[in-house]
Amino acid sequence: MHGWCGQALEVDLSTGQSSVLPLSITILRQTLGGRGLAGHLLRTRSANLAQPTICLACGPFCGADIQTAERLVAVFRSPLTSGIFDNSAGCSFASALRQAGFDALLLKGEAAELSHLQIDCAGGRLLSALDLAGLDTGQTLFALGDVPSLVIGPAGENRVRFASVVASAGEPLSRGGLGAVFGRMNLKALSAAGDKKYPPADEQAFLTAKADIQRLYHASPFLLGPLGIGACGTAALLDLTQARKMLPTANFRRTTDVRAANFSAAQLKKNVGFSADPCPGCKIACRKQDAAGGLPEYDSLAHFSALLGLNDLPMVISADRACRVLGLDPVSTAVMLAAYFDGSNKPLETEALTEFIGQIANRCGAGAALADGLKLFVENSASSQDIFCIKGLELPAFDPRGAYGLALSMALSPSGEYRHAQAHFHELLRKPVPTERFSFAGKARIIMQSEDAIAACDSLCICRHTLIAAGLEEYAALLTAVTGLDFDATSLAATGRQTILRERWLNQQYGFSADDDSLPAFFFEAGSSQGSNLPVPALSRPQFMAERDRYYRLRGLNENGHLLEPPVEPL
């Protein structure tokens, strides 16, 4: 079989037993891999909704020397949202899992003690990890050596609901609380190794399709232009959101920060200096590092500066690194800190910031009250504070009042993540075509089409950023060359559509309804102008609701946002 391994590994951590699941060509063709395959396995192999279950999957391009294709997707039930959640990262573990002979890894149950799961061509082996207890992510990865691994830090062990999983080479799996699920499973570390290879079915067609995609990457100013993310990192977005008056500032009370230029990509390069810190197999290299390690991505950079009101670049960098070392999602952490200091009217003591982050990770001191996420923090404190969450997930560094398609896509996302539709591509970056950002008109159809394309991209395990340059047509040609089967843009979009419907169906089983497809009331009630020549008004709830209902009709959902019948799974 070209392109796929043709099997998944299922491991019951309660018993330590593993079994190989054959994957039919029908399943692989209709789910592709990644997000599609992981969601399929989670739905069909997990009867107990209360049991912790994680599915990790890679795509058919992984290990084939294709840029951005060494990506891993995790699909799980989030402890923050109580709904389906997917997370992806470029990391060496993805290709190691493929080399071990598996397209996916399904984890169930809870180990009796803190454990390390080793995966190889023979299956899974569960080892004690008691000697790793309490170690931070860097210490744990050092102890494991060079083997491609995923690990949690103290935050995951303490089941902080927004704990992350950190990879030995590549991006962390930050959002949604995957680290907390690892902690509940008593899984400290996961590693993989193997030697299997998967040559393309048609080598010449493969080289041609890959070259076509590479040319499109190089022609994209956003990816590889002099001011693009390849040159400047994702921090390049900070100037854009500031200029568009949608940079969350002072705990979402404002949409611009007069000091934002101090944290721009240009200032990072000038005052800190950075070099490329690419994900494995990626030459775009939107991640950056200095001599001491990785630098903050856009969301973390913006939230630890503007949202918290910090004007101290070294402290912003230190806060981001503290999150990585302790195994915390920096976005949720920053939103939690903003809510805490805003609600308590206490000044943020900059020099104590990293110590406070440590208290969150270790569930001690003042940080203990923040460890379960913003929604529960506000509810448990009986506070009148606004809850800046969607479906329980703390908001990213884009104020929804500044781009209405982005606002609607965040509300409709199965997990509350804005990346599921990448609406900011057409509203902020003006790609593939510009749209009016202060209007809901026509956004339902754009979001639906974008969701399908991005879900297909996630199933192929290609970086979502690349969709601004290459489209499903180019990736279909590449997939045809790799697998020897016929694919086109329509078939890939159909897989994306099925993936979205599956996730909505799972959320439906978890008790979600139209009430969850919304935004915090604050954004419908308060505008933000700061005396600028571009006032940012509050969102119109009637217009939002009308376009949300239009999306439901386009998706074939009822007025409660529910599917009328479950989507059919391939056999």
Q: Are residues 179 and 326 in the same domain?
A: no
Residue 548 amino acid letter: R
Q: Is residue 136 domain-resident?
A: yes
pLDDT tens across 225-253, in order? 999 999 999 999 999 999 999 999 999 99
Decide: helix, strand or coil at residue 473: helix
Same domain membership, residue 185 and residue 70: yes
> Counting beta carbons within 10 angstroms of the beta carbon of residue 369, is it exposed (0 to 12), middle (13 to 18) or buried (19 or more)?
middle
Mean pLDDT across the chain: 94
- How many of the other CB atoms lie within 10 Å of CB of 20? 14
**Closest Cα to residue 541, out of 420, 401, 430?**
401
Same domain, yes or no, for 73 and 136?
Answer: yes
R_g of the chain, CA atoms, integer Å: 22
| CA–CA separation, 571 and 568 (whole Å) | 9
Sign of CA dihedral 108, 110, 112, 115: positive
Q: How far apart are CA 172 and CA 293, in angstroms?
A: 14
Residues 265, 335, single domain; the answer is yes
Are 172 and 313 in a shared domain?
A: no
On whether both 253 and 188 belong to a single domain, the answer is no
- Give the total residue count for the chain: 571
Per-residue CA distances from 539 to 61, 417, 427, 474, 535 (Å)? 41, 19, 16, 37, 12
Q: Do 169 and 297 belong together in one domain? A: no
Two tokens, residue 284:
């775009």
Local confidence band at 46 (pLDDT 50, 70, 90 cut-offs) = confident
Q: Please report, for the domain that includes residue 252, its CATH number.
A: 1.10.569.10
Q: How many helices (H) and strands (E) does the chain have?
A: 23, 16
Phi-psi region of 197 (alpha: psi -120 to 50; beta: other; left: phi over 0): beta
- Number of CB atoms found within 10 A of residue 218's CB: 14
Return the closest-CA partner of residue 31 out of 557, 396, 571, 546: 571
281 and 142, same domain (yes or no)? no
Residues 183 and 290 in one domain: no
Measure CA 389 to chain center. 16
| Same-domain check for residues 175 and 37 | yes
Examine residue 455 and state whether it is found in any structural domain, yes or no: no
Residue-wise pLDDT for 396-448, tens only, equals: 999 999 999 999 999 999 999 988 877 777 888 877 778 899 999 999 999 99
Residue 534 lies in a domain: no
Q: Is residue 414 part of a domain?
A: no
Contact between 73 and 34 under an 8 Å Cβ cutoff? The reply is yes
Residues 233 and 295: beta-carbon distance below 8 Å? yes
Please check the confidence at residue 529 and state whether its pLDDT lies above 70: no
Residue 302 lies in a domain: yes
Give the confidence band of 532 by pLDDT, cuts at 50, 70, 90.
low
Of 325, 357, 389, the last residue of a domain is: 389
Question: Locate tokens 């994306």: which residue?
Answer: 496
Instruction: List, as one string, the DSSP characters of 265-308.
Output: HHHIIIII--EE-PPTT-SS---EEETTEEPPPHHHHHIIIIIT
Q: Which helix (H) or strand (E) holds 28?
A: helix 25-31
pLDDT of residue 350: 80
Q: What is the pLDDT of residue 531?
A: 52
Amino acid at 124: G
Counted domains in the chain: 2
Mean pLDDT, residues 259-277 taken together: 91
- The answer to whether residue 360 sits within a structural domain is yes
Amino acid at 445: R
Whether 570 shows a pLDDT value over 90: the answer reads yes
Provide the pLDDT for residue 533: 65
| Residue 220 placed within a domain | no
Are 38 and 104 within 8 A, CB to CB?
yes
Average pLDDT over residues 102-130: 97
On whether the CB atoms of residues 55 and 85 are closer than 8 A, the answer is no
For the chain, helix, strand, coil in percent to 5 are 45, 15, 40
The answer to whether residues 185 and 274 belong to one domain is no
> What is the β-pairing status of strands 187-192 and 166-167?
unpaired
Tell me how far apart the alpha carbons of residues 52 and 183 are, in angstroms, rounded to a whole number: 10
| Cβ(223)–Cβ(163) below 8 Å | no
Q: Are residues 25 and 147 in the same domain?
A: yes
Cα–Cα–Cα angle for 311, 317, 320, rounded to 5 degrees:
115
Q: Judge whether 170 lies within some domain.
A: yes
Per residue in 299-320, pLDDT (tens digit) is 999 999 999 999 999 999 999 9
Domain range holding 380? 247-389
Phi, psi (degrees; rounded to nearest 5) at 331: -65, -50
Residue 530 has pLDDT above 70, yes or no: no
Among the three residues 333, 354, 389, which one is the final residue of a domain in this structure? 389
User: Exposed e or buried b for every residue in 516-537, given b needs 16+ CB within 10 A?
Assistant: bbbbbebbbeeebeeeeeeebe
Q: Average pLDDT in the 461-475 region?
A: 95
Q: Which of 389, 421, 453 is the last residue of a domain?
A: 389
Q: What is the CATH number of the domain that holds 89?
A: 3.60.9.10
